[in-house]
Amino acid sequence: MTRYKPPKTKEIAMTSNQSGAYGADNTLVDYILGITYEIWEERKIELINQYYGADTMVFALDGITRGAAAMIDGTQAMLESFPDRLLLADDVIWSGNQRDGYYSSHRIISPMTNKGPTIFGPPTGRHASIMSIADCGVENGVITREWLLRDNHALVVQFGYDPSGAAKIVARRRNRESRTWMESEIERLTDAGIPEQGSGIADPSTSVEEFVLQMISNNLAGGDDPLACLGYAPYAVMQRSPIELYSGRDAIGGHYAQLRDGIRIAGITIDHIAIQPADSEALRIAVRWTAAGTHSGDYLGLATTDRPVYLLGSTHWRVEDNRITREWTVFDGLGVLSQLMVY
């Protein structure tokens, strides 16, 4: 696991020899928000060549994208399908420094209208909104790695596509490199197993890694109600997408119970943690996690297949008085469903 180092409260300016508008003399948050605005809102797609490396890899459940050129192609295709798409920043939680590099976890809300054809079919004319979290490694003003978490299941549902049919399309399009990566991840996670949760709940203000491990493991695999009671405030709110929200600790627990009923988790790792103050009395925590298991029950309407499955997820928490009061968790439900399809 990449261990976090508590960042300084005053963000240090980045250094870069880039010629674009962002890089040199910008803080990391300015950099992340600025390049997102340039590329998506101002439609300066060519700047991807400056802000991403020729060998930068973007990992997502619908497949790996390698290099700036492929990313430009993907961005152009997205804008042809959704020409009014916006990327509205919700939060950036970060860690790192100039010497070792930075890591950002950028939560985004994206409203859009389907005005052009997609891989799933002709334009529907429908409006949708999805939540994404983009986790990026940044060195010298260049994004070197990205993990893109976006719930494409929420997207296809809002556009009226059949999720099972859409999942088969995603599965057919997944290239060999992506399949090999996912298979190796399932093997790695199965070997890792499920971490011991211990008794009681760690103090997130002093033992954030232990707290994160306990809560993620319990949510995905444990189902320990007393632990959940200690980790979540009774009035906690969880958002999975703009159309999927859960109000209250019991509702959040019910969501995770349904996930565990569908997927029996065999291994979990916490791959990155970033922590920032929210205000004088609260913390913002970002967690990138991975899990693997077996499709053992109903998942999004699909009966048991006993197929192996890989989950790549990101969770943001607001923690007050050592309890989670807000949660945003994103993983690609359609990407999970696509692994269970026979096509």
Strands 282-295, 263-279: pairing is antiparallel
Residue 173 to residue 195: CA distance in whole angstroms: 34
Q: What is the pLDDT of residue 20?
A: 53
Structural domains in the chain, sorted by start: 28-173 (3.10.450.50), 185-338 (3.10.450.50)
Q: Please list the ranges in the chain whose pLDDT falls under 70.
A: 1-26, 343
Q: What is the pLDDT of residue 5?
A: 37
Q: What is the pLDDT of residue 279?
A: 77
> Who's near 183: CB < 8 A, 6+ residues apart?
none
Nearest to 135 by CA among 300, 296, 290: 290
pLDDT single digits (tens) 13-51: 444 444 555 553 468 999 999 999 999 999 999 999 999
| Adjacent-strand bridge partners of 237 | 247, 326
pTM of the entire structure?
A: 0.91
Q: What is the pLDDT of residue 21?
A: 54
Residue 319 to residue 156: CA distance in whole angstroms: 32
Residue 278 to residue 91: CA distance in whole angstroms: 10
**In this structure, what are the phi and psi dihedrals at residue 219, rounded to the nearest 5 degrees?**
-65, -45
Contact of 323 with 231, CB cutoff 8 Å: yes
Q: What is the pLDDT of residue 10?
A: 41
